[in-house]
Amino acid sequence: MQSLTRAWWFAGALVVAAPIAYGIARAVPQYSASAGRTCDSCHILPDWETPSFAHRKKNMSCQTCHVDPAGGGMRTTAGRYFGRSTLPIIATSPRPYDDWDRNLFGRHDKATPYDDFLPVGPASIDDVPAYRDSLNDKWAWGLPKGESPNAPFAGRYHTLNPDPVFRIGGDFRFATLIAGEELLMFPMQMDVGMALHPMHHVTALMNVGARGQSSGYSDTFDDSHTPYFRELFAMTSEWPYQAYAKAGRFVPSFGLKLDDHTTRTRREFELDTSLPESRVLGVEVGAVASYPFLHASYFKMKSKFEIPDQWDIFDVDDGWGTAFNLGWRDLGWSVGASAMARRRPLDEGGDTDTYGLYGSLNPWFYSEKLPLYLQGEIDIGTVQRASGREADKLVWYAELDWSLKNGFTVLAAYDWADPDRDVIDDHSGRYQLGGQIVIIPGVTLDGRIRHLDVATEEGDDTDLFLQMHLWF
């Protein structure tokens, strides 16, 4: 029965993925670091008075582009607009004014006016109903009941539905790894998500995904824990100061939620978003005003050495944990701090304490001649060995991105980890050099040369990693 269920789910996922043509973009922290340089990256230029601080939505936080305020997964309409207007070679929403002359092949997309006329949204909230007739959104339907001054409104995101009752989305990543004479082709991600938002302040999010196996497609499909609930929670949001509360299955908010799940800042602290083991059952509250942010959670979890049931989100053990993530994300820079504690029996993974500092800098915001953005994170933590004694960890990550033209980005990254400070020569670092091309909204190509540098030369390794990402 489980094999039949998995077969039907994958068949449905492929049917949904087949017609992908236009949609939303992969939203990752470096996009947040770069988007603040121009307001019309994320929405049509406004023509109204700035709202009070409590009702202001202008910020660079994850909640702007994601349904999950902690980031990752299904995107909001603002995130979708960013993916259609700013990221691709060919835009399907009006291109930001500052990007008009950054096209590789000249001014060719029909969505951008390329003249002195700029698309402008409603002049006041009273004009919003007149813009609803222009909505044309094939992946989002309906308008929620009730009124909320904190909800997105029609006319702000071109023809996209600003605040739909029902939304469906998907992320599909197909990877190729070439290491010496070895060639691996496998699915990195196969996710289908749905969000139900029947009335203002109430949202339910479900994201069902596969646990990709580098050994190939057959091993991925035959995995007894595939598919599974990556996220499943109920949330109340759209409150003053963009406050929210959610309850269900999720990954705790901590540091930079990078889309590269192999980065040591994620993998060393049980935050690898590709693994069911990283999911917890809990509650999270927070607020994301302009520009401070705060996320705090309390959760229960499964033993570190066991995979939780793919459908039963209440499959947890005796341990508990808490996490805090707070800071300031400004238009040209950001800084944040995180803390996380887990308390559980030694045979379930033992106690851990983790602390992190992270931030970003966007020189592009200060000068059009510097289309660069940087981000980095440093984490320290303690874990319990099998003996019960503590071991200290130290991990850090840094990335530099250079936007060559619309849709073309070159990047260099380095992450380093010492998983046990008391053990000699167990540290390692990884260099990455590559680039990303967003052809049209819905298609991203990513290629990187990666070199693993370990303390003992026998462990050094170099590979070529290629990825095709389809999203909607």
Q: What local confidence, expressed as pLDDT, does residue 16 receive?
A: 33
Point out the least confidently predicted range of 29-33, 39-43, 152-156, 254-258.
29-33
Sorted by sequence, the CB contacts under 8 Å of residue 120 that are 6+ apart come out as 44, 45, 46, 47
Q: What local confidence, expressed as pLDDT, does residue 8 receive?
A: 33
Residue 373, pLDDT > 70, answer: yes
State how far the Cα of 208 lies from the Cα of 98, in Å rounded to an integer.
38
CA angle at residue 287 from 283 to 291, to 5 degrees? 145
Sorted by sequence, the CB contacts under 8 Å of residue 258 that are 6+ apart come out as 28, 29, 265, 266, 397
Q: 131: closest CA among 57, 46, 194?
A: 46
Q: 116: closest CA among 97, 92, 95?
A: 97
Q: What local confidence, expressed as pLDDT, does residue 2 receive?
A: 39
Q: How confident is the model at residue 1 (pLDDT cuts 50, 70, 90)?
A: very low
Residue 224, pLDDT > 80, answer: no
Q: Phi and psi at residue 199, in whole multiples of 5°? A: -150, 160
Q: 246: closest CA among 407, 127, 84, 71?
A: 71
Point out the least confidently predicted range of 69-73, 217-221, 316-320.
217-221
State how far the Cα of 82 lies from the Cα of 64, in Å rounded to an integer.
10
Residue 417, pLDDT > 90, answer: yes
Q: What stretch of H or E contains 195?
A: strand 182-199
Mean pLDDT, range 92-99, rounded to an integer = 92
Q: CB neighbours (10 Å) of residue 115? A: 7
State how far the Cα of 150 lies from the Cα of 324, in Å rounded to an integer.
24
Q: What local confidence, expressed as pLDDT, does residue 106 receive?
A: 85
Q: What is the pLDDT of residues 331-367, one digit of tens each?
A: 999 999 999 999 999 999 999 999 999 999 999 999 9
Q: What local confidence, expressed as pLDDT, does residue 367 receive?
A: 95
Q: What local confidence, expressed as pLDDT, does residue 14 receive?
A: 32
Tell me if 74 sits within 8 A of 167, measured CB to CB: yes
Q: What is the pLDDT of residues 229-249, one digit of tens each?
A: 999 999 999 999 999 999 999
State how far the Cα of 105 lies from the Cα of 439, in Å rounded to an integer.
12
Q: What local confidence, expressed as pLDDT, does residue 30 receive?
A: 79
Q: What local confidence, expressed as pLDDT, does residue 26 receive?
A: 36
Tell me if 378 sits within 8 A of 357, measured CB to CB: yes
Tell me if 255 sits within 8 A of 325, measured CB to CB: yes
Mean pLDDT, range 447-459, rounded to an integer = 87
Q: What is the pLDDT of residues 253-296, one digit of tens each?
A: 999 998 888 899 999 999 988 888 899 999 999 999 889 999 99
Q: What local confidence, expressed as pLDDT, does residue 131 receive?
A: 87
Residue 6, pLDDT > 80, answer: no
Residue 329, pLDDT > 60, answer: yes
The more confident residue out of 29 and 98 is 98
CA angle at residue 435 from 411 to 253, to 5 degrees? 60
Q: Which CATH number fits domain 2-471: 2.40.160.10, 1.10.3720.10, 3.40.47.10, 3.20.20.70?
A: 2.40.160.10
Tell me if 452 sits within 8 A of 167, measured CB to CB: no
Q: What is the mean pLDDT of the chain?
A: 87
Mean pLDDT, range 403-423, rounded to an integer = 95
The more confident residue out of 416 and 471 is 416
Q: What local confidence, expressed as pLDDT, does residue 24 receive?
A: 33
What is the chain's length? 472
State how far the Cα of 169 lies from the Cα of 184, in Å rounded to an integer.
27
- Tokens 């646990």 correspond to 211
Q: What local confidence, expressed as pLDDT, does residue 347 receive?
A: 94
Q: How confident is the model at residue 23 (pLDDT cuts 50, 70, 90)?
A: very low
State how far the Cα of 37 lies from the Cα of 368, in Å rounded to an integer.
9
Percent of the chain predicted with pLDDT > 90: 58
291 cis-preceded (ω within 30 degrees of 0): yes
Question: Domain spans of the chain?
Answer: 2-471
Q: What local confidence, expressed as pLDDT, does residue 3 receive?
A: 40
Residue 218, pLDDT > 80, answer: no
Q: What are the Cα distances from residue 275, in Å, to 149, 186, 211, 431? A: 38, 16, 7, 23
Q: What are the Cα distances from residue 163, in Å, to 155, 168, 453? A: 11, 13, 47
Mean pLDDT, range 453-461, rounded to an integer = 81
Tell me if 269 sits within 8 A of 354, measured CB to CB: yes
State how far the Cα of 39 lies from the Cα of 41, in Å rounded to an integer.
5
What is the reported pTM? 0.89
Q: 30: closest CA among 409, 368, 295, 369?
A: 409
Tell me if 321 sits within 8 A of 354, measured CB to CB: no
Token code pair at residue 91: 């835009």
Residue 321, pLDDT > 90, answer: yes
